[in-house]
């Protein structure tokens, strides 16, 4: 987004979710714009292109942001703008309808970054300190190992019961019996 000419107005990303329009175009102070606002600009641009007429809503800062982007962006994408110099009667002409719309991804913004200024936690996730994450991971690992061991003991009990029942049947018949010891985790238990 930065122009090759440092004296020219530019849009710069100053953090993960904040952009800045430099002061040399708009006066004394830089203007900071959130990623959510950039998303709104992209949506508004698409809406202008679909409706091809003025609407009853207009995101604050759109004309400044779109103007700077259109002047400095080297690619073919441009924001659609209502002609600021038009003074005639009737509908205001829309500029840049023949160009591609800028995509939110061209600003390096992910959709989850559009809902908070600095916390970039994706929806459905939580932010944890490293120590807390490691503690929870340890608890989870121990719980999983406990569940596996419990399941293994239950399978061993079922197999011992099955072998005991088979041995009892063979004893009643007066013959020898077979004990399946290879599936017992602790070997043959009596």
Note the pLDDT tens digit of each residue in 48-92. Answer: 999 888 877 888 889 888 988 998 888 899 999 988 888 888 888
Q: What is the pLDDT of residues 154-169, one digit of tens each?
A: 999 999 999 888 888 8
Closest alpha carbon to 14 in 35, 42, 29? 35
Q: What is the pLDDT of residues 80-102, one digit of tens each?
A: 998 888 888 888 889 999 999 99
- Rg of the chain in Å (alpha carbons): 34
Q: Distance between CA atoms of 101 and 78, rounded to whole angstroms?
A: 6
Model pLDDT, residue 26: 52
pTM: 0.54
Q: Which residues of 104-143 are buried (b: 16+ CB within 10 A; e: fewer)?
A: bebbebeebbbbeeeeeeeeeeeeeeeeeeeeeeeeeeee
Name the pLDDT band for 133 (thresholds 50, 70, 90): confident
User: H-helix or E-strand containing 24?
Assistant: helix 23-26
177: its two tokens:
């019996």
- Asked if 66 and 45 count as a contact pair (C-beta separation under 8 A), the reply is yes
- Asked if 81 and 70 count as a contact pair (C-beta separation under 8 A), the reply is yes
The mean pLDDT of the chain is 80
């Amino acid at each position: 987004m930065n122009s090759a000419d440092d004296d020219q107005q530019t849009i710069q990303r100053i953090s993960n979710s904040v952009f800045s329009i430099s002061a040399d175009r708009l006066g004394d102070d830089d203007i900071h714009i959130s990623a959510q606002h950039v998303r709104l600009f992209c949506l508004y641009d698409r809406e202008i292109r679909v409706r091809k007429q003025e609407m009853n809503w207009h995101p604050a800062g759109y004309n400044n942001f779109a103007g700077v982007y259109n002047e400095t962006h080297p690619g073919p994408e441009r924001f659609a703008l209502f002609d600021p110099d038009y003074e005639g009667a009737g509908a205001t002409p829309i500029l840049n309808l023949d160009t591609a719309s800028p995509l939110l991804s061209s600003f390096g913004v992910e959709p989850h970054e559009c809902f908070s200024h600095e916390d970039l936690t994706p929806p459905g996730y939580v932010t944890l300190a490293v120590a807390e994450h490691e503690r929870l991971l340890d608890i989870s690992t121990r719980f999983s190992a406990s569940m596996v061991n419990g399941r293994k003991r239950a399978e061993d009990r079922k197999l011992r019961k099955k072998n005991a029942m088979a041995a009892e049947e063979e004893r009643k018949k007066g013959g020898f019996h077979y004990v399946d010891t290879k599936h017992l985790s602790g070997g043959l238990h009596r």
